[in-house]
Structure 1
Amino acid sequence: MRTLVLWCPDWPVVAAEQPSTVPVAVLAGGEVLACSPAARSEGVRRGMRRRDAQARCPELRLVDRAPQIEQRRFEEVLDAVEQLTPGVAPIRPGLCALRVPPRYYGGERETAAVLAERVVGLGVWDVRCGVADGVFAAEHAARRALTQDVCIVPPGGSADFVADLGVEVIEDVALADLLRRLGVRTLGAFARLEAGEVRTRFGDTGALLHRLARGEDPQPVTRRAMPPDLLGGVSFEPPLESAEAAVFSARRAAEDFVADLAHHGLVATGVRIEVDSGEKITAQARTWRHPSWFDAAALLDRLRWQLAGAGRQQDAAVWREGIAAIRFVPEETSAVGDHAETLFGAGPDAATERGVARVQALAGDPAAVRSLRAQGGRGPGDQVHTALWGERVPVARPAERPWPGQIPAPAPATVFAAPRAAVVAGAEGQRIVVTPRGAVSAAPARFRVSANEPWQQVAAWAGPWPVDERWWDEHTARRIARFQVVGVDGRAWLLMLDGDTWFTEARYD
């Protein structure tokens, strides 16, 4: 059977759900991973550094890559395709392969049209198909197709089709670079080499790529393994009227839910608990997150707090129809090996975790409690990364990278939510400024940290630490300089000169 590859270009941009008319670039490791057509029309290209891309397109909207969102969105595409034809093999988010049914839809072109129509119905406008004898040739055929169209390679024509492709399409960067230095610049030239000599010189990897260049694709299209149904729950007939009775009766369901996940080598770090009323209507649903993972006791605690919170918020009458069913739905899972305890423990202790979860229940909103982590940045407010308690979101700016203009340690103890207007003057009352080269016009002699504070003399000061941010954009460019100032009363402050205006940014204890 022939192979069809379905390709959705710029999938990281599509998964980010950004407007198609806005120039958007998705970043990974400080480089452009994918960009929208509007960004490409401005000269932005994949592999560009952030600064180079913004220099080409000042209004470029930057988005950090989110692999989990990309996979979750592409699952919708895979599910839609599998409703039309079984045996879908995902290659990566945005790209999948399947065997072409020989006569079911009337032919290869008709099959591609049906699949493209279904994907477009999901809101993915740019979808392209390629048909060939193997996955490798079909993928490059899809890359030559037009939007919502198909490129078909005749049977037996894969070798001729890929012959004009450059060796840079080989995923092995080192091998492609070596072939170019040897004068082999196309797959056709690579295919004309003797198979035995290729294996001797380049090993098994080179031999496999040599077969692909000759149109011999040994990689079969294998159907993806469908995820198991990991829902847990229990139904009550007749419905229960007591929350405590419901929690007690759900104990076995919680234990089975955790055991079923463990059987598949998984643990749940985020669980949605759904409670149905006596009328079989979902009366309440809430997502809970755990900093490590949920066991049966933790699930029952969340269920108890969820039922108690609903009773307080609705005068304990929400369960007048009874509790008919309880379901545990895993929303976030990870491998059990990622949470194995080390010699020095495994994250927050049980008492802290239970206390935070209790606060979430009392607040009635899991987003009410957030965790803090250090990240890279120049100002003290920029160096704090917040996330929902239990979420494992990577920091946007790694702290180990160099940050020119960063304030040296120790960090201030109190960072104000909004900088407060301040005044700094020299010995003769003159205004103090910082030149573009970082020179101070006069030594600070006295200051006021806010309008309500009295003037006081400067006992010691350090700085400036100048920062020139977004210099390439005249609308958002910002030039600031930070100073550490100690007053005669012994208190230390972090002051900031933004343009011609002074602010108090933080206080040292």
Structure 2
Amino acid sequence: MNGKRMLVLWCPDWPAVAAGAAEGHSPHLPAAVFCANRVVACTAVARSAGVRRGMRRREAQARCPELGVFGEDDGRDARLFEPVAAAVEELVVGVEVVRPGLVAVPVDGAAGYFGGEYQLVEKLVDHVSGAAGVECQVGVADGLFAATLAAHRSALVERGAAAAFLAPLGIHELDQPGAERAELVDLLKRLGLRTLGTFAALAERDVITRFGSAGLLAYRLAAGRSDRPPSRRKPPPELAVTKTFEPPLDRVDAAAFIAKPLGERFHAGLASRGLACTRIGIYALTERGEEFGRVWRCAEPLTPQGIADRVRWQFEGWLKARDRPTSGVVRLRLEPEETVEGRSLQLGLLGTEHALAADKAARALVRVQGLLGPESVFTGLLDGGRGPAERVRLVPWGDPRAETAPEGTTWPGRLPSPSPSIVLDRPVRASVVDADGREVAIGARRRVTAPPRQVSLDGGEPKLVLDWAGPWLVDGQWWARDGRGVAARIQVLLEDDTALLLARMGGDRPVWTIEGMYD
């Protein structure tokens, strides 16, 4: 079955455009948005100078020295996109924000009103360009996925021709922002499936057997079919969640604070019915009776964090827009506009008790955040780095636990496993000497000047070294004359069976310190 006829309006390079607009950067100058030191979005001017997505910051700036550099900020992108969505809504009803930079609307009713799809597209492009002052492209096709790719090419695909339109396109098109299909796409390429058409030509049964439900969804998209089966449940009205505010809510940081527990509550209500939300309506009522509303669509069932993000983004769009509410918000309502069976939310047959315990712990942490604030609960995440302290990053509970280090990054000088069981907040000074009583240092060839024989901790009694390993060298900030970026680490086993990680940092007066301890 083909998907519903959709119109998609796309603002190219929106993260880079929004970042430049927020900072007053001229749209005629090159700009790029970076995450983890790699380009995630760049303007057409930057691309003409050789900048590309995935490129390292140093290489991008080498190719384009005048490049404007900005950080990734989903809230900023959503806030600045709200006028665009509002401009579309002035002409067409049923606007759904897929993500900042992309909106979708059902096309049939509006096309009939304006005299056809071509006339609707012309009218919409002119209106959005004039009202919001941004460049946009529009595509029309059967289904959201095909319409999105049509918008990238400013194409109007005939009814029933979505499969033919998609067939010659590269398989990489399946990995749209937010879809998280990079691994699947990489596997399909390695299997020799280079286009959407070759993937769609496989038997559905074989796809399910080999790739599971995630592969089946991608297969349906590649074939130009609806992304989900046509049998959608009508959400029961009692699944909507309403929150009132006294005093009225008029700050973005306050909205971000309430978004997490509200998203948890909304998600839990759906999960208790075995449902998941794919389209969520966010509706607000102000103190003076003004009503605001927006529908967000998601390719995958929304998680509690996904719900909270969209609430926060939408509030930021409303409260910082040019036509912002004239008074604070007194009531917020979340409605499930579309639901699907929440199979992905069901607990596994093995490990059910563990999943229930994890869910209970998560609710307790959310409760603590509700009492003490969103920055009161952190969990540890192993990330990129060489030393044990560098690798541990504390992430506020509920925030994305994604590594900031680019995939495939190597860390010369990183310690081998196992890591120290105890990492000191403040390194303790130590003295390391050789058999002749001289301090062990790092020589010109980056080796220890002599095997360590004794270690004394913070001026204490010296202890005999039974065994040692290393050094692991870090040569950072090589341009600094004082050598402060140079470090060396060794492991020592002392006579009292204490195992330590020692570090010697460069600089004018390098000293040994204890970084960690092993059990």
How far apart are residue 16 of structure 1 and its match?
6.9
Mapping for residues 104-503 of structure 1, pairs under 5 Å: 111-120=124-133, 126-129=134-137, 139-141=152-154, 171-172=169-170, 231-233=240-242, 259=269, 262=272, 265-266=275-276, 336-342=342-348, 343-345=350-352, 346=355, 348-349=357-358, 352-353=361-362, 356=365, 359-360=368-369, 364-391=372-399, 393-397=401-405, 403-426=411-434, 427-430=436-439, 432-435=441-444, 438-450=446-458, 453=460, 455-469=462-476, 478-500=485-507, 501-502=510-511, 503=513
Distance 1:421 1:38 in 2: 52
- Contact kept in structure 1, 2:487 and 2:504, CA below 8 Å: yes
Distance 1:374 1:418 in 2: 19
Residues 185-215 of structure 1, C-alpha deviation per residue, up to 9 Å, x if partnerless?
xxxxxxxxxxxxxxxx979779xxxxxxxxx
Higher helix share: 2
Count, aligned residues:
372
- Gap runs ≥5 in structure 2: 159-164, 174-196, 203-222, 245-263, 290-302, 306-329
- Contact kept in structure 2, 1:432 and 1:441, CA below 8 Å: yes
2:12 maps to 9
Alignment RMSD, CA only?
6.1
Distance 1:13 1:72 in 2: 14
1:508 is aligned to 2:506: no
- Contact kept in structure 1, 2:440 and 2:452, CA below 8 Å: no
- Contact kept in structure 1, 2:267 and 2:304, CA below 8 Å: no
Distance 1:329 1:90 in 2: 15
Q: Secondary structure at the match of 1:367?
A: helix
How far apart are residue 432 of structure 1 and its match?
0.6
Partner amino acid, structure 2, of 1:9: P
Task: Output the TM-score relative to the length of structure 2.
Answer: 0.51
Partner amino acid, structure 2, of 1:7: W
Q: Of 83, 91, 97, which residue of structure 1 is paired with 2:90?
A: 83
Change in CA separation of 1:364 and 1:328 when aligned onto 2, cut-off 3 Å: farther
- Gap runs ≥5 in structure 1: 121-125, 143-152, 157-166, 176-200, 207-217, 236-253, 275-279, 281-291, 295-324
Q: Secondary structure at the match of 1:83?
A: helix
Residues 397-437 of structure 1, C-alpha deviation per residue, up to 9 Å, x if partnerless?
499976443222332122122434544444342451154x6
Partner amino acid, structure 1, of 2:396: L
Partner amino acid, structure 2, of 1:336: G
Higher RCO (C-alpha 8 Å, min separation 6):
2
Q: Say which one has the larger Rg.
A: 1
Change in CA separation of 1:3 and 1:474 when aligned onto 2, cut-off 3 Å: farther
Distance 1:267 1:56 in 2: 44
- Contact kept in structure 1, 2:486 and 2:506, CA below 8 Å: yes
1:193 maps to none
Q: Of 45, 55, 64, which residue of structure 2 is paired with 1:48?
A: 55
Q: Secondary structure at the match of 1:439?
A: coil
Distance 2:463 2:455 in 1: 6
Distance 1:490 1:3 in 2: 69
Change in CA separation of 1:265 and 1:420 when aligned onto 2, cut-off 3 Å: same
How far apart are residue 44 of structure 1 and its match?
2.6
Distance 1:84 1:446 in 2: 79
Change in CA separation of 1:174 and 1:379 when aligned onto 2, cut-off 3 Å: closer
- Contact kept in structure 2, 1:231 and 1:257, CA below 8 Å: no
Partner amino acid, structure 2, of 1:507: M
Partner amino acid, structure 2, of 1:348: A
How far apart are residue 393 of structure 1 and its match?
2.7
Change in CA separation of 1:379 and 1:53 when aligned onto 2, cut-off 3 Å: farther
Residues 292-350 of structure 1, C-alpha deviation per residue, up to 9 Å, x if partnerless?
989xxxxxxxxxxxxxxxxxxxxxxxxxxxxxx9988699x997333322211216356
